[in-house]
Amino acid sequence: MTTTSPSAPRTALDRVDWGHVEFYVGNARQAAHYYRTAFGFEQIAYAGPETGVRDRASYVLEQNRLRFVITTSLLPDDEIAAHVALHGDGVRDISLNVADAAGAFRLAVERGAKPVREPRTLRDDFGSVTLASVATYGDTIHTFVERGDYRGPFLPGFVEERIASGAPQYPALHHIDHCVGNVGWNEMDGWAAYYARVFGFTQLISFDDNDISTEYTALKSKVMSDARHAVKFPINEPAQGLKKSQIEEYLDFYGGPGVQHIAIHTGDIISTIRALRANGVQFLEAPDAYYDELEQRVGRIDEAMETLRDLRILVDRDDRGYMLQLFTKPLQDRPTLFFEIIQRKGSLSFGKGNFKALFVAIEQEQARRGTL
């Protein structure tokens, strides 16, 4: 891992943080309702025809440091409608908070990023926000967001519109841990190099088909991270196997590269999974045999093994500690985007010890869909 020394000249991309994630969907009102009632988000802002926006409707959802923007087109043939027609509901924009959006954009483009939207400053009675966007894999983009001392509910053009979560049980979701992208055959190395060159990220860890495989399927992955390990982008590509891997299935249904899943950190995964299950969220389930050997593999942990077995939570350990994780089933009819719920107790792991059990569970779902 490389770091910037105190004497090195600083750049506009030396420090980035997670911003909001914008989803393009077919029906934003209904999708926002789902995330409020299933995952406990509160709606905080809105933009649409009632606020002077004629071509789209956007609902801003918040929970702790998580901000999701759910956007739908009001037109039959614009960029949003085309995105949904090709990909179904999915992630369009993973924004990054920076101190200087224009400077970050200029530096990224100098380093080889493809520009999507030039820097622009939006203003209202609460102050100003500067935005600029660059492309990444597929139709996904990163928007640099410079908020300064902006005091509005979200961005200029949005009005405050608060609707409580309405979740029967309230999960403790806190912030994004990592966002995973799926890319095509032999594209992983190129995109990993892109994040290194453009954003100054370094490779935190990598997995090959010996690490991530079962009897039938395999994939490869590289995890690119900023120096603080605050913003992490794992990048997956297919690997040769006897049958179609989950990455190939994703690429087929999504119509190309895109965001496969968003990992959301919680401080209490047991109460969070109990709440989400009670709210109707469906999860992948590891086989019973996984839990028969779990204590021997991970050693002593704080949580009761029977509780983990009952909730189907996965555990992995590295030299820094351990982590717990569980993956939802796809959040829409196409088997594409899903969430990971993760709690870290010191570990920087991405669950290498869980890959076999996880992939068996995924393959069972693929077999049910007839795509394995």
Closest CA to 82 of 261, 256, 331: 256
Q: In 3D, which of 339, 359, 369 has the Cα closest to residue 259? A: 339
Nearest of 69, 67, 92, 93 to residue 81 by alpha carbon: 92
pLDDT digits (tens, 9 = 90+) for 2-50: 344 444 447 889 999 999 999 999 999 999 999 999 999 999 999 999 9
Q: CA 163 from chain center: how many Å?
A: 24
Residue 21 corresponds to which tokens in the numbers above?
A: 């994630």
Q: Give the model's pLDDT for residue 296.
A: 85
Delimiting residues of CATH 3.10.180.10 domain(s) in the chain: 17-163, 173-369
Angstrom distance (rounded) from CA 167 to CA 173: 13
% of the chain surpassing 90 pLDDT: 76
CA–CA distance, 6 with 14 (Å, rounded to integer): 12
Name the residue among 240, 250, 301 with its Cα closest to residue 90: 250
CA distance 23 to 91: 4
What is the CATH architecture of 173-369? Answer: Roll (3.10)
Q: What is the DSSP letter of 361?
A: H
Mean pLDDT of all residues in 263-286:
96
The closest alpha carbon to 270, from 298, 309, 296, 231, belongs to 309
Average pLDDT over residues 107-134: 97
The mean per-residue pLDDT over the stretch 178-197 comes to 96
pLDDT at 7: 46
- Whole-number pLDDT of residue 79: 97
What does the alpha-carbon distance between residue 322 and residue 345 come to, in Å, rounded to a whole number? Answer: 5
pLDDT tens digits along 314-329: 999 888 999 999 999 9
Listed range (38-47, 167-176, 244-253) with the worst mean pLDDT = 244-253
Query: What is the average pLDDT score of the chain?
Result: 90
Predicted local confidence at residue 286, as pLDDT: 86
For range 94-123, the mean pLDDT: 97
**pLDDT value, residue 242:** 52
Q: How much is the average pLDDT of 337-346?
A: 96
Q: How are the residues of the chain apportioned to helix, strand and coil, as percentages rounded to the nearest 5?
A: 25, 35, 35
Q: Contact 199/13 with Cβ under 8 angstroms?
A: yes
Mean pLDDT computed over 279-305:
90
pLDDT of the residue at 170: 93
pLDDT in tens, 201-224: 999 876 655 555 555 546 788 999
- How many other CB atoms are found less than 10 A from the CB of residue 99? 16
Distance CA 196, CA 147 (A): 25
Where is average pLDDT lowest: 81-95, 156-170, 345-359? 345-359
Homologous superfamily (CATH) for 17-163: 2,3-Dihydroxybiphenyl 1,2-Dioxygenase, domain 1 (3.10.180.10)
d(CA 206, CA 262): 18
